[in-house]
């Protein structure tokens, strides 16, 4: 990855975008796209960059830009500790001791640390991702004065992890919100590279909103664009050397993005994607999504008359934690794959799995 692209990715990662308040991030992303793409937005808060928007055949790349977060519920008048609820898939097991930033209604960004009531002793089940109850947790800002805090923070303010991006090892990026600002960067760079080509199809890169909470952005974008197909760019779990059993496929760093197979995804598009990867010597990995993808794809495939989708996922370790990890090599491979895949379309493809 070039130094310029690393700087772009870092800028995106350093811009907060809690689910429901993505607008500041969207402005930063659109400024990156402005030199080479047509720009648009919608009432769901999506940012849309396109090439050849007048073309009849439309390819949509969707990457959600929202990050998991928390919201302030109140301030304890006795000690200034701040209560929170989760906004997205917060994992309570990794919260104690985590650094966070409160995006205060005052305009101030207030730093704090997550504490856990020592008397609460939450049960293991309460620390699961699905059933986690944050009532035993609080934010300690170091400001005990209740009245002073009320001038900075109020109920409903967003709280995000404080995990600045950095490169460790040879090519590993670690940061909060790699899920899914890596995808946001990937679709942006893919569109930039495609802008240098003459394409017979329209291509749309959409920074969708609300994926971590309700999927509102993906549905609104599909209703507006009416794409002939959609490429979902998200993340998946890097398995760190799973046991290799046939029912647990490995997804490892440095082996390229993972392509999903199962009921939600188009077998026609998957076959074409595999063909393109093989033709250009680009490594890919396989994963299974037999029922749902748990991404924007589950929303997009139901939009309009039904949108055929493929899901291309970047391997990530420590997903939904304060610091996630990904491989810069995998990011570059995914960009190259998407560029070649989109270039392979003529606009005359029949994407039906079966014809009369």
As annotated, the active-site residues are 211
Strand partners, 41: 47
Residue with tokens 């939904």: 320
CA distance 130 to 231: 27
- Helix (H) / strand (E) element for 8: namely helix 3-13
* Cβ–Cβ < 8 Å for 213, 71: no
Tokens for 309? 């989708």
Q: Is 42 exposed, middle or buried (0-12, 13-18, 19+ CB in 10 A)?
A: middle
CA distance 231 to 102: 34
Q: How many CB atoms lie within 10 A of CB 336?
A: 18
CA distance 130 to 4: 38
Q: Please work out, in degrees rounded to the nearest 5, the angle formed at the alpha carbon of residue 67 by the alpha carbons of 305 and 123.
A: 110
Nearest alpha carbon to residue 203 among 227, 182, 167, 180: 227
| Coil vs helix vs strand at 172 | strand
CA distance 266 to 259: 11
* Cβ–Cβ < 8 Å for 43, 199: no
* Cβ–Cβ < 8 Å for 351, 269: yes
């Amino acid at each position: 990855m070039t130094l310029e692209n690393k700087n772009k990715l870092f800028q995106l990662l350093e811009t907060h975008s809690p689910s429901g308040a993505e607008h500041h991030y969207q402005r930063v992303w659109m400024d990156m796209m402005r030199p080479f793409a047509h720009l648009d937005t919608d009432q769901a808060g999506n940012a849309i960059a396109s090439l050849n928007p007048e073309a009849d055949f439309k390819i949509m790349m969707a990457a959600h830009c929202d990050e998991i977060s928390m919201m302030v519920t109140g301030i304890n008048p006795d000690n200034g500790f701040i209560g929170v609820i989760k906004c997205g898939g917060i994992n309570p097991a990794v919260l104690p001791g985590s650094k966070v930033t409160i995006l205060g209604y005052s305009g101030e960004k207030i730093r704090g640390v997550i504490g856990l009531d020592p008397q609460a002793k939450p049960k293991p089940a309460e620390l699961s991702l699905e059933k986690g109850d944050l009532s035993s947790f609080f934010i300690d800002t170091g400001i005990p004065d209740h009245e002073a805090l009320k001038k900075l923070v109020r109920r409903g303010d967003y709280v995000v992890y404080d995990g600045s991006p950095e490169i460790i090892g040879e090519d590993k990026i670690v940061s909060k919100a790699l899920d899914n600002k890596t995808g946001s960067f990937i679709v942006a760079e893919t569109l930039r590279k495609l802008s240098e080509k003459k394409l017979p199809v329209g291509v749309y890169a959409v920074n969708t909103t609300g994926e971590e909470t309700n999927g509102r952005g993906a549905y609104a974008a599909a209703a507006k664009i009416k794409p002939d197909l959609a490429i979902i760019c998200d993340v998946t779990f890097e398995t760190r050397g799973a046991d290799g059993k046939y029912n647990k496929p490995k997804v490892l760093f440095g082996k390229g993005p993972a392509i999903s197979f199962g009921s939600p995804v188009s077998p026609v598009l998957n076959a074409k994607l595999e063909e393109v990867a093989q033709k250009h010597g680009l490594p890919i990995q396989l994963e299974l999504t037999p029922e749902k993808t748990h991404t924007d794809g589950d929303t997009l495939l139901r939009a309009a008359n039904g949108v055929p989708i493929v899901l291309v996922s970047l391997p990530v370790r420590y997903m939904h934690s304060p610091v996630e990890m990904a491989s810069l090599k995998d990011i570059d491979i995914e960009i190259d794959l998407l560029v070649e895949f989109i270039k392979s379309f003529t606009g005359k493809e029949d994407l039906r799995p079966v014809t009369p």
